[in-house]
Amino acid sequence: MRTCQAIVVGLGGMGGAVCAHLARRGVDVVGLEQFDLAHDRGSSHGETRIIRKAYFEHPDYVPLLHRAYPMWDELSREMGVELFVRCGLLLAGNPHKALIAGARRSAIEHDLDIPAVPRDEWERRFGGFAPDEEMELLFEGDAGFLHVERCVMAHADLARRLGATLVLNTTVRSWVANAEGATVYTDGESYRAPLLFLCAGPWTGPLVRELGLPLTVKRKVQLWLRTRSRWHGAEHHCPVFIAQTEAGYFYGFPSLDGTSMKIAEHTGGECVPDPSRVDRDLSRADVERVAEFASAFLPGVQSDVLRHAVCLYTLTPDEHFILDRHPRHDNVFIAAGFSGHGFKFAPVVGAVLAEMALEGRTDAPIGFLGLQRFDPGR
Ligand SMILES: Cc1cc2nc3c(=O)[nH]c(=O)nc-3n(C[C@H](O)[C@H](O)[C@H](O)COP(=O)(O)OP(=O)(O)OC[C@H]3O[C@@H](n4cnc5c(N)ncnc54)[C@H](O)[C@@H]3O)c2cc1C
């Protein structure tokens, strides 16, 4: 049996960050990952993730984002790699519906600057977009995107540099815990530590079966559609965007290769009973709704798919995260249910879990992300 001071299960978006923050505080941490680092079978792949502050989902996320922005910048500096591109974010939707109304609410509550863009100005500045007449546009200037695989690697590399041991291609089959600590079992080895962090993304449900968490895993497709518009190029200051239409929420990124734009639907998606058995082929149904949205909203984007990636959301019923202690084991922590919008928070998740575990408390306002809202047998 290998002993250490902390074990982290899962080295995707969150687990790598947890390892880095524990190692930074001098903790002897072992991270266990069933695949390679920055693999394409979980939730943290596909080139880019949106990062933004005027959080339409809930204003309580904003203080966590104030903390996340400089942490991404610091990680980028420390590892010497560009992670965060501040190209701005365009929000488009009916002003009375959740996207625009929610972003406004967060902006007012937290004094964020997200000006409305008048129609004549948007035609001049954002020629790559053709919003409906009744849509309102808001622009968040210091938002943008993260290079997702680079971020995963940066946290993992930093963790290793600070002394963490990362064990790859090793699946955790089970774990037990008591007041002294936790033991984790893989196929050929066991690990024991006073602290355990479960950051298993779409595989979290079976690892904490005793809690019966209401997690739903969904198959989500990211499409790179051909664009013929120069307006969609990063060099023409194309922002990331989120649009709420009658059909749902759609989002996309500036073209990074000059020929394609990554576009996807946030709403919808098929439920996946087993995250290890996911259909990764592209079907016509995967393309139809996004192509229809693009043909109306993104002049110059065509329906031919140059590339695609299938990714997984792990949704809670209220689509807010789970960031808490295990209700039956004080020394076991759970970071899960990131509901398709968690990546931007990864360094904060790492820091907050390290604080909770090592100091017994955190100042971060994470009460609304607690497990008690699901009453998991407390
Ligand atoms: C298509 C798509 C678009 C998204 N867009 C955005 C966005 O624009 N902005 C944003 O902020 N967020 C976005 N998200 C959400 C964000 O990417 C996720 O919330 C985040 O990546 C979740 O990270 P995670 O660490 O929980 O999961 P993962 O990154 O999947 O990590 C879990 C890891 O645990 C490992 N693991 C699981 N079980 C075991 C086991 N038993 N033993 C060993 N290892 C194990 C897995 O292999 C995996 O590597 C998006 C997600 C998707 C799918």
Final residue of a domain: which of 299, 315, 331?
A: 315
Residue range 141-160, pLDDT digits in tens: 999 999 999 999 999 999 99
CATH classification of the domain holding 364: 3.50.50.60
Inside any domain, residue 79: no
Residues 332 and 310 occupy one common structural domain: no
SS3 81: coil
Residues 160 and 281 in one domain: no
Q: Which one is catalytic: 311, 314, 320, 341?
A: 311
The pLDDT value given to residue 124: 87
Is the predicted pLDDT of residue 291 greater than 90, yes or no? yes
The verdict on residue 289 lying in a domain is yes
Q: Which residues surround ligand 1 with Cβ inside 6 Å?
A: 9-15, 32-35, 42-44, 46, 49-50, 171-172, 199-203, 220, 222, 264, 311-313, 338, 340-344
Segment (H or E) for 270 = strand 270-271
Q: What is the pLDDT of residue 363?
A: 96
Task: Give nearest CA residue, ligand 1 atom 27.
Answer: 201
Q: Kindly name the residue from 21, 150, 155, 344 that is annotated as catalytic.
A: 344
**Does 55 fall in a domain?**
no
H/E run at residue 354: helix 346-359
Domain holding 104: CATH number? 3.30.9.10
Q: Please tell me the distance between residue 283's alpha carbon and the centre of ligand 1 in angstroms.
A: 23
Reported as a single tens digit per residue, the pLDDT across 4-34 is 999 999 999 999 999 999 999 999 999 999 9
Backbone φ and ψ for 9, nearest 5 degrees, come out as: -100, 120
| Sole residue written with tokens 């299960």 | 9
**266 classed as catalytic:** yes
Instruction: Based on the fold, state whether residues 33 and 126 are members of the same structural domain.
Output: no
What is the structure's pLDDT at 26?
A: 98
Q: What pLDDT score does 193 carry?
A: 98
The rounded Å distance from CA 360 to ligand 1 centre is: 26
Q: Which atom of ligand 1 is nearest to the CA of 13?
A: 25
pLDDT (tens digit, 9 = 90+) per residue, 56-99? 999 999 999 999 999 999 999 999 999 999 999 999 999 999 99
Cα 43 to ligand 1 centre (Å) = 3
Q: What pLDDT is stored for residue 377 in this prediction?
A: 57
Encode pLDDT of 337-378 as tens digits.
999 999 999 999 999 999 999 999 999 999 999 999 997 655
Active-site option among 53, 266, 308, 320:
266
> Average pLDDT in the 325-341 region?
98
* 101 in Cβ contact with 136 (< 8 Å): no
Percent of the chain scored above 90 by pLDDT? 95
Residue 78 within any structural domain of the chain: no
Both tokens of residue 132? 């409906």
Spell out the residues 6+ positions from residue 203 whose beta carbon is closer than 8 angstroms to its own.
10, 34, 42, 275, 276
Whether residues 188 and 239 share a domain: the answer is no
Catalytic residue chosen out of the listed positions 49, 150, 219, 232: 49
pLDDT band for 123, please (50, 70, 90 cuts). Answer: confident
Assess whether 40 and 169 both reside in one domain.
Answer: yes
Q: How many domains does the chain have?
A: 2
Looking at the fold, whether 243 and 290 belong to one and the same domain comes out as yes
50 part of a folded domain: no
4 with 165: CB under 8 angstroms?
A: yes
Residue 123 CA from chain centroid, whole number:
31
- Is residue 56 in some structural domain? no
Mean pLDDT computed over 220-232 = 97
Is 49 among the catalytic positions?
Answer: yes
Average pLDDT of span 256-263: 96
- Report yes or no on 81 lying in a domain: no
Provide mean pLDDT across the span 39-54: 98
287 and 192 both lie in a single domain: no
Q: Strands of 329-336's sheet, edge to edge?
A: 165-167, 29-32, 6-9, 195-198, 329-336, 322-326
Which residues constitute the domain of residue 229?
Answer: 89-140+216-315
pLDDT, average across residues 235-257: 96
**Domain presence at residue 61:** no
Mean pLDDT of all residues belonging to the chain: 97
pLDDT band at residue 236, thresholds of 50, 70 and 90?
A: confident
Catalytic residue list contains 97: no
Q: What angle do CA 261, 14, 367 make, to 5 degrees?
A: 110
Give distance in angstroms: CA of 227 to centre of ligand 1: 28
Q: How far apart are CA 103 and CA 68, in angstroms?
A: 18
For every residue of 284-337, which 3-state class applies, written as one string? HHHHHHHHHHHHHHCCCEEEEEEEEEEEEEEECCCCCCEEEEECCEEEEEEEEC
- Domain end marker among 315, 339, 362: 315
